[in-house]
A and B are shown apart, each in its own frame.
Chain A
Amino acid sequence: MTKRHLLAVDDLHVHYRLARPHLFGARPTLRAVDGVSLSVERGRTLGLVGESGCGKTTLGLAVLRLVEPTGGTVTFDGMELRSLGAEALLDVRRRMQIIFQDPYSSLNPRQNAGDIVRSPLDVQRVGSPSEREERVAELFSLVGLRPNQRNLFPHQFSGGQRQRISIARALALNPDLIVCDEPVSALDVAIQAQILNLLGELQEDLHLTFVFISHDLAVVQHICDEIAVMYLGVLVEKASRRTLFRSPRHPYTRALLSAVPARRASRRTERIRLEGDIPSPINIPPGCRFHTRCAYAQDRCRVEVPELVEKAPGHWEACHFETSPRAG
């Protein structure tokens, strides 16, 4: 990690111990995140894509230490988060925030919009009460809410407006890093564009660094500078936006790309259909964890784990073979 990087994650693991299936059973372990390394440069956006259940949210929460990692390190601006005590952690929390996917469940239904946006200031005791009110007004206008909506409750807002409240809350403490966990997935397309534009503007104006979690490749392509593709708790490919979309390497990435419905016929070139579903993270296949669905799988893939290696400058892939016709 260099000075340019605000966040670095090294070999991060989050394993959940589940309840016993029956009285005498062993407690199974669910490996939600199973050895992920990545870093994000200041002022840039790292995209994290993958199918449902592959561990994106868990990774995002572990970065903020909202769930306890079971292994690996998270370094934020030179500080190793897992070694921080409770007090120091609360301090760091000012500088890292999160926006959740579901604008219906991420706002406390018993607080009004203004109090929600103000709560970080109250909790962290920033400024005097009147200064906090001013800041709330400022944040409201920053995210495009009207001041007279301050005393309305979450259920009185539409999905897009609720997401604006979430964004305002995340911005209240002037954070450096925001983890955006599928911030537009629950919104209508027209509203999606508004929120994406808003996030883009805020990033420019406030020099924010984003970790942007999404399952929508089109959205990721639009907003992210670097993209990491996740499958069953690990990264299978990592590259800059341009490289990833121009020459995707990993069979999974290409399958994802070809599964996105094409609006123009021109993109309907290579069609890879994945069979079956993503395996359970309780029972991860040995060797390459993608081999159960991979069209290129060989015997080797069933035993040997492929490491994430730099196959071309800045282009990382975890596969034993060269499978992409376009990779170069």
Chain B
Amino acid sequence: MPAVTGKPPVLEVDGLCVDFAVRRKQVRVLSDISFTVGRGETLGIIGESGCGKSMTALALLRMIPSPPGRITAGRVLLDGEDLIQVPEKRIRAIRGGEISMVFQEPMTSLNPVYTIGNQIAETIRRHKGISGAAAWKEAVDLLDMVHIPAPERRVHEYPHHLSGGMRQRVMIAMALACEPTVLLADEPTTALDVTVQAQIFDLLREIQEVHGTCIVLITHDFGAVSEMADRVLVMYAGHKVEEGTLDEISGEPRHPYTQGLLRSMPEIVDDPADIRERLPEIPGTVPDLLRGLEGCPFAPRCPSAMPKCRDRPGYTRLGDHRSVKCWLASEGTGDRVGS
């Protein structure tokens, strides 16, 4: 496992807040999200649907549908450049350039009427300004790099000719076209079978080793995180509730939500018992942000909620890149920051 800290941060997100206007109400869908990703590092962002994972990725690239959405606070530093402040033209160059995205459903992200070669070459041409023939050649090389067999032939095929796994490889090839420094992968394997998912993870790891790309892996699947991530950020209702290394999060989770999430997942064991046990579940459902949240967003479902939880807890820092947003953690060690 790569070292955790000490790497210069490539991407630094600081206090990011996003509001949505819903029926004349301002709803905060991202509250004070901060994290950093170092060179060659993989950060896993995990949470249930609607917790703001995808929103975080979109906010980094200023791709939030606006209106109704709006980034109300925070900085996103890519090698020191604040993406929230740069002009529109620059952010367009960054999208698909320094920062690329890979989405869950490759079929909706690929244009069905063009061959995959066309689409990759077009991306290369637009960002690098090189000739058509050179771009085409690079497209073939990229397909080869993502281990698509017979790439010279495959470039002429249309997206619907490819299987789900192949399409996802094409998406990754496109994302890599401009040698990005950061790869945002939003549920890249959720639509795929486990055996194909394993292939895609191998590919992502290989690319990371060769190019030193930082990967932000957004997923609801803790298995995927544990396979890929060096550090993990747990999100709930637009809040970052816990952050730490993979071992810290899976070994000694501190936030009751993280604990509940991990416990509620069935896990494969080599020698299962004959009797089925009840899974420890988290009662209830994610809160409705429209109703407004007061205090700790997890309090209504939290087994250890106490009167104090009616106030919003701040981050309790437990170490470098290790923090928890819970009153339980602030009682012992660590010092509180922010709110």
Contacts and interface: CB of A to CB of B under 8 A. Distances in A.
Direct contact of A and B (CB under 8 A): yes
Interface of A: 51-52, 158-161, 188-194, 196-197, 200, 215, 217-219, 221-223, 241-242, 245-246, 255-264, 267, 273-274, 277-278
A259 B195 CA distance: 5
Contacts of A264: 250
B24 interface: no
B271 A246 contact: yes
B224 interface: yes
Interface stretch (B13-21, B110-118, B173-181, B275-283): B275-283
B193 A51 contact: yes
Nearest to A215: B193
Contacts of B281: 190, 193-194, 197
A263 B227 CA distance: 8
Interface of B: 48-49, 163-166, 193-199, 201-202, 220-224, 226-227, 250, 260-261, 264-274, 276, 278-283, 285
Interface of chain A: mostly helix, strand, loop or mixed: helix
Nearest to A248: B270
Contacts of A197: 278-279, 281
- The 6 A-B pairs with the shortest beta carbon distances in the complex, nearest first, are A261-B223, A193-B264, A222-B266, A261-B227, A259-B198, A193-B281
B193 A196 contact: no
Contacts of A221: 266, 268-269, 272
A189 B250 contact: no
Contacts, number: 123
B236 to A, nearest CB: 10
A189 B264 contact: yes
B165 to A, nearest CB: 6
A246 B270 contact: yes
The CB with the most chain A CB atoms within 10 A, among B193, B224, B227, is that of: B193
B193 A189 contact: no
A277 B264 contact: no
A2 B55 CA distance: 55
A196 B269 CA distance: 18
Contacts of B268: 217-218, 221, 245, 257, 260, 262, 267
A188 B47 CA distance: 9
Given A52-B193, A189-B48, A274-B195, A200 B276 contact: yes
Contact of A277 (B163, B273, B278, B283): B163
A263 B202 CA distance: 17
Contacts of A223: 276
B29 to A, nearest CB: 17
B222 A193 contact: no
A160 to B, nearest CB: 7
A260 B223 contact: yes
Contact of B285 (A158, A219, A257): A158
A273 B198 contact: yes
A222 B279 contact: yes
A218 B226 CA distance: 15
A51 B195 contact: yes
B269 A263 contact: no
Contacts of A191: 48, 285
B226 A222 contact: no
Given A188-B220, A191-B48, A262-B227, 19 more contacts: A190-B282, A194-B283, A197-B278, A215-B194, A218-B223, A218-B267, A219-B266, A221-B266, A222-B266, A241-B274, A242-B274, A245-B270, A246-B270, A255-B195, A263-B267, A267-B268, A267-B270, A274-B199, A277-B166
B293 to A, nearest CB: 17
A198 to B, nearest CB: 9
Nearest to B273: A242
B48 A256 contact: no
B285 A160 contact: yes
